[in-house]
């Protein structure tokens, strides 16, 4: 068995208060890891800044690695845990910024970052879209990161799974009233890829959006390992066995029975 323990945190970040949000994230890491040994903690999208920052995102953006990543890397090393979290990252050209997810390891090293590909609504005014999906090798297995609206596109999860992902982490700012949509997408990505999905969604209200949480960890057949049904700050914790991924893929043959030569319409622009 390849058992690991995963936590999904749902938190209410304060708009543009990077220092305060990092402090609250640090408190959550300490709280989660004090309960039992944990291998991975997943925070929501844009957790260091909040969502509706508009033009302020440019000033709040940081390089990777930078101050925010370095702080969370120290926490990861202190508590011997992997941490995935959302932030605004910037390229070498200062005006180019991304809605990014960062993964740091228990040795305090940066494992990598993913830049959100599918930008929705006003996100397109603030951020440059990413252009590739990445799967990260960790000490416990292959992990893929996706952000927010990426979840609605089955091609994202499938691309990562075909590149070896066994666990998909979803970092989200999924807004009310779309809780049913959120749950359906999380379960679908787990079912259709026979993989684990750890989905962290934030809570709290901003100027025009309200976020409902409902963070969850589900298994390769949609079994709930941990769910947070209330719209409050907190975390879900579950121990999962990544060997179940191979077992279910062998049983149901989702990947082996694909017929890629018939899927040409999938990569055609609408």
Predicted TM-score (pTM) of the model is 0.98
Q: What is the DSSP letter of 256?
A: T
Tell me what the mean pLDDT of segment 224-230 comes to.
94
> Does residue 19 surpass a pLDDT of 90?
yes
User: Where on the phi/psi map is residue 122: left (φ > 0), alpha (ψ -120 to 50), or beta?
Assistant: alpha
Over residues 9-38, the mean pLDDT reads: 97
**Confidence band (pLDDT; 50, 70, 90) for 252?**
very high
Enumerate residues 6+ apart whose C-beta is below 8 A from 35.
Answer: 237
| pLDDT value at residue 95 | 85
Which of the 8 DSSP states describes residue 55?
A: G
Give the pLDDT confidence score for residue 230 in this predicted structure: 87
d(CA 219, CA 234): 21
Which residue is it, tokens 């709280």?
31
| Average predicted confidence (pLDDT) for the chain | 97
Domains of the chain: 3-267 (3.60.110.10)
Per-residue confidence (pLDDT) for residue 92, from 0 to 100: 82
Q: What is the pLDDT of residue 1?
A: 87
Q: Reply yes or no on whether the pLDDT at 168 is more than 90.
A: yes
Question: What's the confidence (pLDDT) of residue 63?
Answer: 96
**Could you tell me which of 15, 11, 83 has the C-alpha nearest to residue 54?**
15
Residue 269 has pLDDT above 90, yes or no: no
Report the pLDDT value the prediction gives residue 149, as an integer from 0 to 100: 98
| The pLDDT of residue 94 | 75
Q: What is the pLDDT of residue 48?
A: 98
Beta-bridge partners for 236? 8
**Res. 103: pLDDT tops 90:** yes
Q: Is the pLDDT of residue 4 over 90?
A: yes
Q: Assign 76 to helix, strand or coil.
A: helix
Above 80 in pLDDT, residue 97? Answer: yes
> What is the structure's pLDDT at 115?
98
pLDDT of residue 93: 77
Residue 188: what pLDDT? 98
């Amino acid at each position: 068995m390849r058992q690991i323990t995963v936590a999904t945190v749902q938190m209410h970040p304060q708009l543009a208060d990077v220092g305060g949000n990092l402090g609250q994230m640090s408190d959550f890491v300490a709280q989660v890891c004090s309960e039992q040994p944990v291998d991975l903690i997943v925070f929501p999208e844009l957790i260091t800044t909040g969502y509706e920052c508009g033009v302020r995102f440019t000033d709040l953006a940081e390089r990777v690695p930078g101050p925010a990543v370095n702080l969370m890397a120290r926490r990861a090393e202190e508590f011997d845990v992997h941490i995935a979290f959302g932030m605004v990252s910037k390229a070498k050209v200062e005006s180019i910024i991304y809605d990014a997810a960062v993964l740091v390891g228990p040795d305090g090293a940066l494992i990598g970052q993913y830049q959100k590909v599918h930008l929705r609504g006003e996100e397109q005014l603030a951020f440059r879209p990413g252009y590739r999906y990445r799967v990260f090798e960790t000490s416990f297995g292959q992990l893929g990161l996706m952000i927010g609206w990426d979840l609605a596109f089955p091609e994202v999860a499938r691309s990562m799974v075909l590149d070896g992902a066994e666990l998909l982490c979803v970092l989200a700012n999924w807004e009310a009233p779309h809780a049913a949509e959120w749950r359906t997408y999380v379960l679908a990505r787990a079912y259709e890829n026979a993989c684990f999905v750890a989905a962290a969604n934030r809570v709290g209200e901003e100027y025009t959006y309200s976020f409902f949480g409902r963070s969850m960890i589900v298994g390769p057949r949609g079994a709930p390992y941990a769910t947070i049904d209330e719209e409050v700050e907190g975390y879900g914790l579950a121990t999962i066995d990544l060997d179940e991924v191979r077992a279910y893929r062998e049983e149901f043959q989702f990947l082996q029975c694909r017929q890629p030569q018939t899927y040409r319409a999938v990569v055609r622009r609408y």
